Amino acid sequence: MRSLVSLLREDGVTHVGCAFDHVIESFRNELYADYKTSEGVPEELLAQFPIAERATRALGIVTWPMVEFEADDALATEAARAAELTAVERVVICSPDKDLAQCVRGSRVVCLDRRRRLVYDEPAVIQKFGVPPASIPDWLALVGDAADGYPGVPRWGERSATALLARYRHVEEIPDDAARWDVAVRGAAGLAQSLRQHRDDVQLYRRLATLRVDVPLVEHPEALRWTGAQRSDLTALCEELGDDQIVDRIPQPHRSDL
């Protein structure tokens, strides 16, 4: 709650939405059996999920509890929708998560690493990962994502994936024969062989890594205008949590034309 209040105090904040994995499982578990689940997650942590959602609502933030989709899908969907509106100056995704880097578009849709005070526009994403935002799902498919539970392609690591995708952009454009690669990569023959053997796997992993932009969010972007906290709900929650200082720190909403 303190982190969210800090974000709400930033200059230019006018419209805010917050997405949660209401349950950890999603449609991706139907695609891949080893995709992340709630198994092994401590019960005391799972018990905080509904409290966190209650907190964002009490702060007056539009809240999306995801069940079929994941929280990142909701953020990707709303970022894409808002970016299409000419009245929107900028869309800021408040997360440094590498999955969300695929949503970055020029300097119009950016990711914010609040702790490090870094804003990742498209050039910054390329500098960090070596590939443009559109290639991030391919990059993740090749190197894998332990947090999400898919392993990537054997022998492939960050350097090899970056080198090949910087040239070919997408996995299906990488030639099967390493002799046709026009970039120098160590162990090229072995990498090419492994990719040939795992073409179907890498397509599946890329599908898992690709965020959806068609989540049926009912709110029009204007509904995300932040008009202040729900004071009675916030006061009641803070009393339960034993922290009565947050209510006094709530900023006044910023004005905007949208």
- What is the chain's Cα-based Rg? 21
Q: What is the DSSP letter of 130?
A: S
Q: Backbone phi, then psi, for 66, in 5-degree steps? A: -90, 135
How many residues belong to the chain? 258
Query: Please, are residues 96 and 113 in contact by the beta-carbon 8 Å criterion?
Result: yes
Best CA proximity match to 81, nearest among 17, 150, 172: 17
Domains annotated on the chain, with CATH? 2-128+211-249 (3.40.50.1010), 133-209 (1.10.150.20)
Which pLDDT value is given to residue 252? Answer: 80
What's the token pair of residue 177?
């024969």
What is the separation of C-alpha 257 from the centre of its chain, rounded to a whole number of angstroms?
Answer: 27
For tokens 């935002």, the residue is 133
- What confidence score (pLDDT) does residue 220 get? 86
pLDDT band at 12 (very low <50, low <70, confident <90, very high): confident
Q: pLDDT tens digits for 69-93? A: 999 999 999 999 999 999 999 999 9
The DSSP bridge partners found for residue 66 are 21
Taking the CA atoms of residue 159, residue 162, residue 166 and residue 172 in that order, the dihedral angle to the nearest 10 degrees is 120
- β-strand 118-120 against 109-113: which pairing, if any? antiparallel
What mean pLDDT is predicted for residues 168-187?
96
8 A C-beta contact, residue 102 and residue 136? yes
Q: Is 3 a residue whose pLDDT tops 80?
A: yes
Residues 191-205, mean pLDDT to the nearest whole number? 98
Give the range among 71-85, 201-215, 240-254 with minimum mean pLDDT: 240-254
The percent of residues above 70 in pLDDT, for the chain, comes to: 98
pLDDT score of 105: 98
Q: Is the pLDDT of residue 99 over 70?
A: yes
Phi-psi region of 94 (alpha: psi -120 to 50; beta: other; left: phi over 0): beta
Q: Does residue 254 register a pLDDT over 80?
A: no
> What is the value of pTM for the model shown?
0.93
pLDDT band at 251 (very low <50, low <70, confident <90, very high): confident
Kind plus residue range of the DSSP H or E element containing 120: strand 118-120
DSSP 65-95: EESSS-HHHHHHHHHHHHHT-TT---EEE--
Residue 258 pLDDT > 60, yes or no? Answer: no
Q: What is the pLDDT of residue 78?
A: 97
Structure tokens at 229: 């906290």
Categorize the per-residue pLDDT at 255 as very low, low, confident or very high, splitting at 50, 70 and 90: low
Q: What is residue 65's predicted lDDT score, i.e. its pLDDT?
A: 97
Residue 248 has a pLDDT of: 85
- Banded pLDDT at 127 (limits 50, 70, 90): very high
* Distance in angstroms (rounded) separating the CA atoms of residues 245 and 234: 11
